[in-house]
């Protein structure tokens, strides 16, 4: 069960990163708010190389900030009106946090997990009951 959650979230995260990269490279004006030093700009021979660099940097920064920050960025900077109260969005965020528990904390509940999922059912350091919560033997 843990592997399925981890792999599912990793695939989802890769899909989101791929979409973001495509937006930034096909619509480079979306990167206008990025700060860039002359030193870095002069390292690239073509505009396309510079755009690729900026797109990769932005995707990495956003990917590390988490899905809520990605959605906030898209809503704010691209004029999207993504509804963060949708059940699927809330579930996606919860699965990402669960994946992080599995990968980074040996399935032990953290204060960050409790805060980000608004769950009050678990104590910090308690093993999250993945099989009981999501089925399985």
From the centroid of its chain, how far is CA 86?
A: 17
Confidence at residue 22, expressed as pLDDT on a 0 to 100 scale:
97
pTM of the model: 0.84
Residue ranges covered by each domain of the chain: 2-78, 87-134
CA distances to 10, 78, 96, 110, 134 from 115, rounded to whole Å, are 22, 28, 13, 9, 20
| Residues of the chain under the 70 pLDDT cut | 135-137
pLDDT tens digit sequence for 8-21 = 999 999 999 999 99
Phi, psi angles (nearest 5°) of residue 120: -115, 5
């Amino acid at each position: 069960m843990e592997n399925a959650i981890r792999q599912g979230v990793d695939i989802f995260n890769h899909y989101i990163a791929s979409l973001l990269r495509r937006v930034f490279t096909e619509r480079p004006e979306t990167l206008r708010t990025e700060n860039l030093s002359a030193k870095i700009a002069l390292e690239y021979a073509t505009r396309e190389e510079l755009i690729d660099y900026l797109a990769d940097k932005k995707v990495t920064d956003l990917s590390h900030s988490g899905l809520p920050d990605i959605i906030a960025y898209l809503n704010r900077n691209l004029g999207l009106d993504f509804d963060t109260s949708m059940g699927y969005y809330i579930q996606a965020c919860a699965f990402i946090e669960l994946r992080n528990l599995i990968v980074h904390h040996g399935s032990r509940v953290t204060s960050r997990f409790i805060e980000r999922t608004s769950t009050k059912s678990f104590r910090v350091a308690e093993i999250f009951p993945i099989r009981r919560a999501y089925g399985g033997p």
